[in-house]
Amino acid sequence: MDKTISITIAGLIFHIESSAYQRLETWLTAVRRHFTRYDDSDEILRDIETRIAEILNYRTEGGKRAVTLEGVDDVIAQIGTVEDFQDFEGEGTGATEAGSAGTGSAESGTATEEAAVRKRLYRDPDNSVLGGVAAGVAAYFGIDIVLTRILFIVFALIWGTSIVIYIILWIAMPVADTPAKKLEMRGKPVTLSGIEEKIKTSMPPREEVKSAFGRFMYKIADVLREIGEATVDLVKRAGPVLLSVIGAILVIGGAIAALSLTILFILMLTGTANVWFGVSPAQFATSPISHYALVVSTFLLVVIPAILILMAGIALIRGQGRPRKQRNSTIPIVMLSIWVIALLATTILGAREIPSYQQNIQSHISGLEQTERTFDLSPFTTISVSGGHEVVIIPSEEHYVKAFGDEQVLDQQLLVQVISRELVVNNSRSCLFCNNRSARLEIGVTEPRELKFSGATRTSLNGFDLENLTLRISGASRLDSDSDISELTTRLSGSTFASFTGHITHLECRLSGASRHRVVQSLETVRARISGASRIELGEVARLLDAELSGGSILEFSGEPEQSDIRSTSGSRVVPR
């Protein structure tokens, strides 16, 4: 009977027989003596101890059984002895390959064969341009590093999500900063011979780049890498409390996003969500199979980043106050692979199905039975409409709204009400499919004083003779008017368009965001502020033209005003006719 003692290796506690301990201590002493000649000997020895702990933990089933002399011999057989390694040094490169093959053969017959060679995901600092993420992924999968970088760049340009994934991996992936980690990164056994071979064959300094452009690009990459590494180091050194808070935020955000997307996915698959659409969206695809395949691929495309964020948050929380262990990178790698497949599938299916959706939905809308609703309302002087409806405003002694469209849109979506003499027409409920359909509105009013339109609304103002009118349009809306207006004040923004064919006496307007304003007939006075690549086209201006242009805007007018003050900056133009 041999007595046992307790020892700690790489943060793990093992019970080991006395004879086995003596053998292990003798071997470790020789290893320490051998590697003292290297500057990073402490890191090398920590890597060796980590490898010892892995093998012993596997043999003892997580510390349930004591380490025996046979277990120590197995550790030495896998990692190698100093004597074997000295023989390896004398034989050169050819011996290196033979020695590695021999070691692999010896390990294949041991009880820890499964733990002998295990790939892990690390950032590769030897082949890095920024953080070494692409190089590490290429080493893990055994593919060309150039292909990995091209994929990251292409997906960054198309979707932009690869940038977020790169940053997350930069923070989450440990760097292969020791020879042992560099061996694990490529799936090679961590042995004494392998460690020293990796030291001797470390990447040489970057070759000198002769072209000025090449040196400039390398400098940019160096600056970005330093910023990234400093950010990662700051995150890691911020302290357990801050990391735990960040982890909690990531867990909550990732869990909510993943749960919400999963519920929506289940509703879409089961047809429950059809209540929102009013019809089944699958009927608009080329085939139901294609529709549901697109739903599945899109779900995976958006839910996997949410799950990765959730896992990153859990890792941050669990990592505080505990010994650091090797990360299991299998699950993130599998999920990343599925995400890439989902991205390709969504791109291909989307390019084929989106035109079918658009065409079939438009046909469906055209075939819907039209319903009429009449709203008798109290008097109003202000009209506010949003939601992409088609509006016709006509003079009337009665104040009313007539709505024409699909019954579901009029009953479930359209809200018509008068609040403080303001007619408000908008969408009252969330109906994903209804929001793609608009109604046609006829509004009768005695004398409107202010009009507000947004959300791609199209409006006609016909037959009025008004003293003054204020017009506010935004969100790609449009107004066409043949009414006569003495004093017109307009505010246009967000790629809107307003056209007046009736007589306008005085105009005061402000345009921004690529908007367009047109007045066909002559005017007495014009005061205009035009910015953001907007354009105003005026008829003949008789008395006053006061205009300020900026941001590539254009002013076009005819006639010779009695007073003219036009200020133009930032590439704007004035075009007299």
Residue 317 lies in a domain: yes
Backbone φ and ψ for 321, nearest 5 degrees, come out as: 75, 15
Higher pLDDT, 236 or 275: 236
**Pairing status of strand 440-445 against strand 400-406:** antiparallel
Q: Torsion over CA of 234, 235, 238 and 240, rounded to 10 degrees?
A: -150
Asked whether residue 122 is domain-assigned, the answer is no
Q: Quick check: 521 and 541 in contact, CB under 8 A? A: no
Same domain, 552 and 404: yes
pLDDT at 311 over 70: yes
From residue 2, alpha-carbon distances to 8, 9, 69 in Å are 19, 21, 11
Same domain flag for 321 and 403: no
Residue 522 has pLDDT above 60, yes or no: yes
Note whether 439 and 420 are within 8 A (CB): no
Tell me, yes or no, whether 430 lies in a domain: yes
Tell me: do 395 and 341 sit in the same domain: no
Q: What pLDDT score does 367 carry? A: 59
Contact 181, 122 (CB under 8 A): yes
Residue 382 has pLDDT above 70, yes or no: yes
- Cβ atoms of 504 and 526 closer than 8 Å: no
Mark whether 395 and 426 lie in a shared domain: yes
| More confident call, 424 vs 226 | 424
194 and 94 inside one domain: no
Strand partners, 576: 557
- pLDDT of 426-443, one tens digit each? 876 544 444 446 788 999
Question: Are 406 and 478 contained in the same domain?
Answer: yes
The residue segments making up the domain with residue 473 are: 370-576
Q: How far apart are CA 464 and CA 156, in angstroms?
A: 54
Kindly report which listed range (79-88, 181-190, 221-230, 454-463) carries the lowest average pLDDT score.
Answer: 79-88
Same domain for 47 and 157? no
- Asked whether residue 380 is domain-assigned, the answer is yes
Structure tokens at 449: 């004083």
Angle in degrees, 0-180, between the axes of helices 288-318 and 330-366, rounded to the nearest 10: 140
Phi, psi of 405 (to 5 degrees): 165, -165
> Cα torsion at 168, 173, 174, 175 (round to 10°)?
-90
Domain identity same for 49 and 67: yes
What's the whole-number average pLDDT of the chain?
A: 78
60 band by pLDDT with thresholds 50, 70 and 90: confident
- Residue 144 in contact with residue 129, Cβ under 8 Å? no
Q: Compute the distance between CA of residue 435 and CA of residue 291 in angstroms, rounded to an integer.
A: 20
Q: What is the CATH number of the domain that holds 492?
A: 2.160.20.120
- Which has the closest alpha carbon to 294: 361, 338, 354, 359? 354
- Could you tell me if 137 and 88 lie in one domain? no
Q: Read out DSSP for 463-527?
A: S-EEEEEEEEE-SS-EEEE--EEEEEEEEE-SS-EEEE-S-EEEEEEEE-SS-EEEE-S-EEEEE
- Domain stops at, among 311, 339, 363: 363
319 assigned to some structural domain: yes
CB 190 within 8 A of CB 197: no
Q: Is residue 128 part of a domain?
A: no
Report the number of distinct structural domains present in the chain: 3
| Rounded CA separation 315/399 (Å) | 64
Q: Tokens in use for 148?
A: 């990995």
Domain final residue, candidates 363, 384, 415: 363
Domain termination residue (choose one: 363, 393, 411):
363
- The reply to whether 346 and 441 lie within a common domain is no
Distance (Å, rounded) from C-alpha 543 to C-alpha 557? 13
Give the list of residues 6+ apart from residue 529 with CB closer than 8 angstroms, or none: 509, 510, 511, 547, 548
Q: What share of the chain is helix, strand, coil (3-state, %, to 5)?
A: 45, 25, 30
| pLDDT tens digits along 164-211 | 788 778 777 888 776 667 777 777 765 655 665 554 444 444 444 445
Better pLDDT: 473 or 308: 473
Write the CB contacts of 207 (distance below 8 Å, at least 6 apart in sequence). Answer: none
Q: Please report the DSSP string for 32-90 in residue order.
A: HHHHTTSTTHHHHHHHHHHHHHHHHHHHTTTTTS-B-HHHHHHHHHHH--HHHHHHHHH
Structure tokens at 214: 């090449």
Tell me the two tokens of residue 110.
Answer: 């041991």
Residue 229 within any structural domain of the chain: yes
Does some domain include residue 127? no
- Assess whether 382 and 347 both reside in one domain: no
Beta-carbon count within 10 A of 109 CB: 8
> Do residues 43 and 190 both lie within one domain?
no
Confidence of residue 128 (pLDDT cuts 50, 70, 90): confident
